[in-house]
Amino acid sequence: MAGRAVGKRKKLRIGWFTFTCCEGCATVFVELMNDHFKEWREQIDFRHCRILKSKNDMRGMDLAIVEGAIASKDDVDKLKTIRRNAKRVMIVGSCAINGMPAALRNNFDAKKMKEIQPILRKFGHLPKVEPVVKFIKVDSQVPGCPMSDKMFLAELGGYLAEFGVKSAPGE
């Protein structure tokens, strides 16, 4: 599949999206930039990345990267919008994959559950915090809490190759 040409170069158009979580996986991503930003600047068009810039646009993404669990109706709507705008979706970290540890409130006892009901109703929260995979199809997962940096680099390299931005390993 062809990537988008920017000037003479093709770049992978990516978005990074954070839902309910501690943002520890985003921190790993930022740490990786210390070593990789020079090459990524040539290879990646950061279309939507609030940790890097204030003006963002999620339309026409090649790859959306999602961290965090889904806690509200608004989250579900936004997640589905992301899926519609991205050719591929990669989820990173255990919160996105299985909900935990962001889904801690799912394990509250009956008394605590009752106490939080008014807050859940007021802010349109779901009865339970859910993993991303409950609502959309995803194309790949990077496990870990925080996410594995090695597996993230391998997955990203695969998408750079798939979209024709760089050669696949061994080519």
Least separation, in Å, of the C-beta of 65 and ligand SF4?
A: 12
Are the CB atoms for 160 and 12 separated by under 8 Å? yes
Applying the rule CB under 6 A, the residues between 24 and 83 that interact with ligand SF4 are 24-25, 67-68
- Give the separation between CA 70 and CA 95, rounded to whole angstroms: 9
Least separation, in Å, of the C-beta of 44 and ligand SF4?
A: 21
Which CB, 24 or 157, lies closer to ligand SF4? 24
Question: Using only C-alpha atoms, what is the Rg of the chain?
Answer: 17
Nearest to ligand SF4 by Cβ — which residue? 24
Q: What angle, rounded to 10 degrees, do the helices at 24-43 and 149-162 form?
A: 30
If binding is defined by CB under 6 A, does position 151 make contact with ligand SF4? no
Binding to ligand SF4 by CB under 6 A, coded x per residue (else -) over 2-21, reads -------------------x
Least separation, in Å, of the C-beta of 89 and ligand SF4?
A: 16
Residue that the structure tokens 């931005």 belong to: 165
DSSP symbols for 38-67? HHHHHHEEEEEETTT-S----TTEEEEEEE
Least separation, in Å, of the C-beta of 134 and ligand SF4?
A: 16
Q: Which of 13, 146, 155, 165 binds ligand SF4 (CB under 6 A)?
A: 146
Task: Tell how far CA 103 is from the center of its chain.
Answer: 17
Query: Three-state DSSP class for 124?
Result: coil
Which CB, 23 or 139, lies closer to ligand SF4? 23
Residues that bind ligand SF4 (CB under 6 A): 21-25, 67-68, 93-95, 101-102, 145-147
